[in-house]
Amino acid sequence: MGGGENVMWYVVQVRTGMEENIRLQCGKRLTGDGLLNCFIPYYEERKKRQGSWKTEKKILFPGYVFLDTEDICEAAAALRNVIGLTKVLGFNGEEAIPLTEAEVEFLRQFGGENQIVKMSEGIIEGTQVMIYSGPLKGKEALIRRIDRHKRKAYLELEMFDRVQRVEVGLEIVMKRV
């Protein structure tokens, strides 16, 4: 996901449910040298289907698509005709506020090269959650709630100037009281 000096990640607000469609439209419309990637971060979750567990991909930030670009003005102009696109966050017509280096670094660590947050595994000891594998390892403080039945952790992240509530896959393999 991009690595040039002037490359910035921007967040585009879109109609929820249209993320993949808009990502494809962006790919067609944004042909300039400045655009490196238009992507959607996903997370893995496990669902029981017809008696067996399947891993599925879900959108990490519903209602948002990410742009990896050197020239947000050029990109924003090209995006004017994209159906279902609401706005580039922080864009005032001349410039936009990119994600901070810390936010980009967090997303790179959390979702890896393909921007897919893998399942994490952990245990619960009393009231303490301990993650021993996966992207949540070391990020236990972000967990606000765990749903063991749905195999999910609900997180609160400070992203794009607001608190984002997201869900990710978490398998609790053991609970000790």
pLDDT at 3 over 70: no
| DSSP-based three-state secondary structure for 100 | coil
- Mean pLDDT value of segment 33-40: 77
| Band of residue 94 on the pLDDT scale cut at 50, 70, 90 | low
What local confidence, expressed as pLDDT, does residue 129 receive? 93
Percent of the chain with pLDDT over 70: 90
Measured in degrees and rounded to the nearest 5, phi and psi for residue 73 equal -65, -45
Consecutive H or E run containing 47: strand 42-49
- Mean pLDDT value of segment 96-125: 93
pTM exceeds 0.95, yes or no? no
- Mean pLDDT value of segment 151-175: 93
pLDDT at 62 over 90: yes
Closest among 160, 59, 167, 79 to 120, alpha carbons compared: 167
